[in-house]
Each structure stands twice: as C-alpha cells, then as structure tokens.
Copies of this chain bind each other. A is one copy, B any other.
Amino acid sequence: GLSVKYKTGPGFDENNNSTDLQIRVTVTNVIDKRPLYNVLGIITGSIEPDRYVLVGHHHDTISRGTVEAQAGSVALDHLVAMFGQLLQLGYRPLRTIIFCSWDGGEQGSLGSSAWLQENFQLVSQRAVAYLNIGAMADGNFTLQAVASPLLQKLLYDAARQIQSPDNRYVSLYDLWADRPSSKLKLSDKPDEPKVLYSVGGAGDESNFYYRAGVPIAGIKATFDKEDLPAESYPLYHTAYDSVFAYENFIDPGFNFTKALTQMWGASILNLANSSIIPFQVSRYSEVLNYLIHRDLVPHQAEWGKHGVQIGDLVSAATRFSAAAASFERRPSLENDLYHSLLKQRIYNDQLMAVERVFIDTIALEQRPFVKHVLFGPSITDEASGTPFPVIQDSLHRISQGETTAWDDLMRGIEKITAKILMAAKLLEKSPQL
C-alpha cells in the first residue's frame, strides 16, 4: 500500500457492533444468459493420437485484465503460432496437443468446467497432463509454481533450458532456485525451487486435477512476498490492471512473459514427444511421505486416544515409495522398453494411472466436486489448497465440537490408505491380486 493514512469509515465500535451508520447500496446488476465461447486448437499426434497434452488458459477478463488474463492470451497465441510453424515445416508431435482458450474463467471456470463434463471420459482416459497458463507475471522477482508432484521435474527441466531474464543468473531455474517467493516450507527439499502441490478450487486447472485426476502444472513470475506480504498482486481484478502497469511495473520489457512462454513451449514439447512420459513418480512418493510426517504424524498420540490410527497409512506410503523406486529403475534395466512402442505404451499407462488413482468419486460427501484425496481446496478458504482435504475437513469439524467427525477422520484415513496401496499396485510389475 501507499504510505498515506487510509480512511475507511467509522467501522465497528469497541464491542464489535456496528455504529448507527446507514448504507444505501444501489445494485444495477442484470441477470442475463450469455453464450460462452471456448476456442480449441488441436494438433493430432502422429504416433499416439489418443494421448492428449492439454494447454489451457481463460481468455475472459474482468475490466482490462492485462495480468489476468490478456498476457496469457498473448502467450497462448504465440505458442499456437510456433507449433503451427513447426507443423508447416513437417514437424508433428508424437502425441496430440490440444490448445484450449476458455471462456467464463471469471464466472467460476465455467468454460473449462462445462467442456470437461462434456468430454469427461475422453479426458479421463486420454489426457496426459493439463498445463494451465494463468497470469504470466504479476511481478518480476521470481517464479511461483503449482503442480502435481508428478510434474515438478517437468517444470525444473524446462526452466533449466530457458535463459534467465535477469543476467545475474544463467538459467530461469537458477533464478527461481535462488529467490524463494516466500519463506513457507513446502517440501523436504529446501534447496530446490518451491512448488505448491495443492491449488485452490477456483482455477481452470482445479477441474482437471481434482475431478479427473489429470496432473496439472501452472507457473508465473511474481513479486517478493517477504517484501510485499500480499496474497495477490494489488491491481488484481481492478481497472488498474492495465497494459501501462504491465509494461512499466509488472514486467518491463516483457522479459519474464517471454521467458515463461518459452518455458511452456519446452514443457509441451517434452510431454508430447518423450517416448516415456516425463512424470516422476518417485517425487510423488517423496512428497506424500513428507506431508504425512509433517501434517499427520505429530497428531498420532492425540488421535490414538480417539481410536484413529495412522500406522497403515504410513506403511502404505512406504510401499508406494518402494514401488515407485522399482518402477523408475525399469527403463535402465529393460532394454526392450526402448525398442517397443507397445512396451512404452504399457509403461506410460502405468504412469498415467497414478494421479487418477487418488480420485475418489465420493471423497467428501459435503463437497462433491472435491474428489482428489491427497490435494484439494481448503474447507475454510475455497481459493487456497490443502493437502489431505478429506482429513482437514474432519479436523475442521472436530475443532468445531462435532465429535462424530472422529469417525469420518478414521474413514478418511482408511480411504487415503487404500488409494496409496492401489497406487503402489498399479506400479508393481506383478501386483498381488
């Protein structure tokens, strides 16, 4: 904020009652039905036309919306133009790439939501990943990423290929690793760039992640949150989110916008062309074990008094780690994996199954759209994400005095345990049936 004294009215008195102030609000909203326009561009893959790399962005804005979302529209247009040029040069990706310019993003991701519903089985069976181009930059200090643990390495690998916009660093990765956007400890690896694994429930990506179990990734340039401790950039959804602000303050020279567009290009190429899909399952098991030990294990003694045990969950996560490690060793041990397209497909099918396993059609009876048992929007703040929403919801209800929620906590833990065991089985070469 600016260093002036803010005046926001007399507010509440010392007893937290409002004063006798009266406010007259004139609402001129009109309820109306309007069509929404999703624009899709498809490049059919040459080898696996039925495997979809989805790249999405909502093009609608509130007011001018340069950060949110015109800069992303420009990036998407550039990516489409680049892949179009490659296509004309005879280059066709192995897998299908689908560029999605969504409408209705500001009305609750309506465009992507309706499209997903209409194509649910196609997406559920065929989507490799969903890359979400949201804001490109709302600052120019460092990068801020959300991703499924499966795609963390994809973002790192892409960032390593791109030149840093700030010449004090060689690559975008170096800048990102050296400048944490906040001091929040998100994972077991403090030296690596931060990636948030749980997104909120508002964005287009949350539909794909939380309803269909498709791994997602999103990244933007942002400001230093230690310096400006704001949840989002101050011009967000105001008339001041303008081209002028973008050019002069947010991303002068469009350096970050350009670098991140290049990074998206590298990520899309990697997902669409690598014979083995670039998912790192061992990262998923590491993150899971870290979160279990950070968020659940400290409560073990207290929960035990209410008959809630987490021993099976901890064992399941250990088994998942072992399965993931063996699975990742296979390409170096099995030469024929490189020579057989079918064997690659079978291996990739296992990779694609991992995220989907964590979808439970009735994960939370009270919140039917939250189906991912490991990550979801928080019960207290829909716009923020939380690990283990199934557990957090029960804890929230327990904190409000609902003693019956202990049973739900137990069932939630059992549900997560079963899902993790299933993830292990799906990676095992000869699963115990």
Inter-chain CA distance A361–B115, complex, in Å, is 19
The answer to whether A119 has its CB under 8 Å from any CB of chain B is yes
A224 located at the interface, meaning its Cβ lies under 8 Å from any Cβ of chain B in the complex? no
* From B120, B121, B340, contact of A341 by CB (8 A): B340
- State in angstroms the CA–CA spacing of A53 and B342 once bound together: 19
A371 closest partner in B (C-beta): B361
Segment at the interface with B among A42-50, A138-146, A157-165, A283-291: A42-50
Determine if A125 is an interface residue (Cβ-Cβ < 8 Å).
yes
Tell me how many chains of this kind the complex includes.
Answer: 2
Q: Which residues of B lie under 8 Å from residue A115 when comparing CB positions?
A: 433
A422 lies within 8 A of B98 (CB): no
Interface: A57 (CB within 8 A): no
Task: State the CA gap A425–B357 with chains docked (Å).
Answer: 24
A170 at the interface (CB under 8 A from B): no
CB neighbours (8 Å) of A346 from chain B are 48-50
Number of A interface residues at 8 Å Cβ cutoff, please give it.
34
Q: Which of A115, A341, A426, A433 has the most CB of B within 10 A?
A: A433
- On whether A349 and B125 interact (CB within 8 A), knowing A120-B422, A342-B342, A361-B361, the answer reads yes
How far, in Å, is A50 (CB) from chain B's closest CB? 5
Contact of A430 with B by CB under 8 A: yes
Residues of A within 8 A of B (CB): 40, 42, 44, 47-50, 98, 115, 118-122, 125, 340-342, 345-346, 349-350, 353, 356-357, 361-362, 418, 422, 425-426, 430-431, 433
**Additional 19 contacts, C-beta under 8 A, given A49-B346, A115-B433, A125-B426:** A40-B433, A42-B433, A44-B430, A48-B342, A50-B349, A50-B350, A98-B433, A118-B418, A119-B422, A119-B433, A121-B353, A121-B422, A122-B425, A122-B431, A340-B341, A341-B341, A342-B342, A342-B345, A345-B345
